[in-house]
Amino acid sequence: MPPSRPAMTSPALAVFGITHADLPTTDLARALRIHEGLLGFCETARGDGWIDLDAGGTITLRLVQVARVDHRCLLRVRVGDVQACVDALVASGLSLTRAAQHTAESTLAATLRDEDGHAICVWRHLSEDEYDTAPELPKVKTWTPEADALLKQLLKAVPALFRALARRKVTRVTESLADPRQSVGTEDVIRGFILSSPRITRERNRKPLLEAGIDVARYQAEWDAP
């Protein structure tokens, strides 16, 4: 459970949130070319020595002209194609400090540095097909290692967009079929994988079972179940 938010010490402290992040630069035009021209942040206002950009959320990025950058920043920018952004930023003069790689947070991220010394991390979420290891099943009961491995293999046939939902449903159905006195086994997984789908779409479960070496004819009762 996240920690509770501390109470304000005075009713006069009406805090509405962070509105701006200032990015000092020795060359305002150069910074604008990067953040507006390449990253696509739209200009919303400008004044003497500063430009505000809509950074795509609730925070405005303010580029501030300075004679010397004393404090450097790290910006994390979510993108659709990490490598395409890296290529465009490198071509514009940024230096690559960390090539695109998987992170512990299940993202793909690369880090670059601009001429002011600021770091820009471009990143995106990984799809399940890109994970280094399959996510753990949301199990309540004890499973045999073979059953666990089989279900993870079968779930690879489910499109990544729907796999988390399928993982929860098939695990729940499988555990409901298992003998409460025994560990969940491969037979429970096979039956649960079949019965988790409505009968009208159940046939599509045959292919991954066949690819796993399962004799699907042995489970006609499950295929025919309402």
pLDDT-wise least confident of 6-20, 73-87, 158-172, 191-205: 6-20
Contact yes or no for 32/116 (Cβ under 8 A): no
Find the angle CA(6)-CA(12)-CA(15) to the nearest 5 degrees.
55
Do 113 and 46 reside in the same domain of the chain? yes
What pLDDT shows up at residue 63? 98
* pLDDT value of residue 41: 96
Same domain, 26 and 86: yes
How far, rounded to the nearest angstrom, does the alpha carbon of residue 162 sit from its chain's CA centroid? 14
Asked whether the beta carbons of 101 and 11 are under 8 A apart, the reply is no
CA 193 to chain centre: 26
Q: Are residues 156 and 85 in the same domain?
A: no
102 lies in some domain: yes
Q: Which amino acid is at 150?
A: L
CB 213 within 8 A of CB 154: no
Range of the domain at 39: 20-126
Tell which of 65, 98, 126 closes a domain.
126
Q: Mean pLDDT for the chain?
A: 94
The Cα–Cα gap between 195 and 187 comes to: 12
Residue 90 placed within a domain: yes
- Domain shared by 119 and 200, yes or no: no
Residue 133 within any structural domain of the chain: no
Dump pLDDT digits (tens) for 175-217: 999 999 999 999 999 999 999 999 999 999 999 999 999 999 9
Gap between the Cα atoms of 35 and 59, Å rounded: 14
Is 5 inside a domain boundary?
no
Q: Are residues 113 and 151 in the same domain?
A: no
Same domain, yes or no, for 153 and 91? no
Q: Which residues pair with 112 in a beta bridge?
A: 96, 120
Question: What's the pTM?
Answer: 0.73
